[in-house]
Amino acid sequence: MFQRASRIRQRLSLALESQELSPAPLPAIIAASKQQPATAIESAIKAGIEDFGENRVAEAGEKWPGIKSRHPQVRLHLIGPLQSNKVREALSIFDTIHTLDRPKLAQALADHYSNGARALPCYIQVNTGEEPQKSGVPPRDCDAFIAWCRDTLHLPVIGLMCIPPQHDHPAPHFAFLRDIARRNGLAGLSMGMSDDFEIAARLGATHVRIGRALFGDRAL
Ligand SMILES: *Cc1c(COP(=O)(O)O)cnc(C)c1O
């Protein structure tokens, strides 16, 4: 685990060094720990990882309260779809939401916050490839959705997230996401996974979400 974590950090710094730009800060590594047992998560924490991503509210609810009580510095990110009826539970487990992907969810979050729930920073997920089976706001709706979330619902939107189509080159999707973020004044970019995190880093990712390169292959 130590070796894998330091290898990822090394690859990230090499990716950024090879750019002409003044070296940007390394993106934060979010360890995508779906299907990983608490023991694997504990080793990642020992290797210095402080951010973790889980895809399912129920799985996170089982695994994380114990880990968090032992490691209060660790931050937990929701990186999978959130159903409106799971919002309350999600708000009690996670620190950040990366998958705000539709008006109904935005409204549900706003309702909970106006009823006193702790407001979590969130990323809006953009369906950059306009894939029908994938979550995310369609690119043409992005600017209006961002404005509505921030200005009308007062959600703490801090960035954008995407998962490029499996068979496309990811670079144009990352660049596209970065451009939408820039023109909307959003600093956070949650993009890049095990197979493409260096490309994402070069295109300005502030958070890369890494599963297999850190934990090894998942069981299917
Ligand atoms: C599983 C997952 C990742 C990590 O994927 P790897 O290919 O294992 O690095 C990143 N983001 C999301 C949303 C995921 O579900």
Q: For residue range 69-109, what is the model confidence (pLDDT) as tens digits? A: 999 999 999 999 999 999 999 999 999 999 999 999 999 99
Tokens of 6: 């330091």
Do the beta carbons of residue 145 and residue 136 sit within 8 Å?
Answer: no
Substitution site in 36, 51, 76, 79 for ligand 1 pocket (most atoms within 8 Å of beta carbon) = 79
Predicted pLDDT at 20: 67
Give 95's contacts (C-beta < 8 A, 6+ positions apart): 75, 76, 77, 120, 121
CA 97 to ligand 1 center in whole angstroms: 15
Question: Which percentage of the chain shows pLDDT scores above 70?
Answer: 98
Question: Which percentage of the chain shows pLDDT scores above 90?
Answer: 93
Do the beta carbons of residue 23 and residue 16 sit within 8 Å?
Answer: yes
Which residue, judged by its Cα, is nearest atom 10 of ligand 1?
A: 209
pLDDT tier, 112 (very low <50, low <70, confident <90, very high otherwise): very high
> What crossing angle do the helices spanning 38-46 and 57-70 adopt, rounded to 10°?
50
Between CA 100 and CA 159 the distance in angstroms is 10
Between CA 105 and CA 82 the distance in angstroms is 8
Which ligand 1 atom is at minimum distance from the Cα of 193? 9
For the segment 201-217, the average pLDDT, to the nearest whole number, is 96
**Residues lining ligand 1, CB < 6 A?**
32, 34, 55, 79-80, 163, 193-194, 209-213
130 SS3 class: coil
pLDDT tier, 53 (very low <50, low <70, confident <90, very high otherwise): very high
Q: Which of 105, 110, 129 is nearest to 177 (CA)?
A: 129
CA 42 to ligand 1 center in whole angstroms: 19
Which residue, judged by its Cα, is nearest atom 12 of ligand 1?
A: 79
pLDDT tier, 220 (very low <50, low <70, confident <90, very high otherwise): low
Mean pLDDT of the chain: 96
Angle at 200 between CA 174 and CA 2, to 5 degrees: 155
Tokens of 142: 């992005």
Do the beta carbons of residue 17 and residue 9 sit within 8 Å?
Answer: no
The pTM assigned to this predicted structure is: 0.96
Q: Which residue in the block uniquely carries the two structure tokens 């951010």? A: 51
Tokens of 102: 């539709």
pLDDT tens-digit readout, 4-23? 999 999 999 999 987 766 66
- Least confident range of 23-32, 86-95, 167-176: 23-32
Which ligand 1 atom is at minimum distance from the Cα of 99? 13
Predicted pLDDT at 21: 62
Do the beta carbons of residue 55 and residue 80 sit within 8 Å?
Answer: yes
pLDDT at residue 174 tops 90 = yes
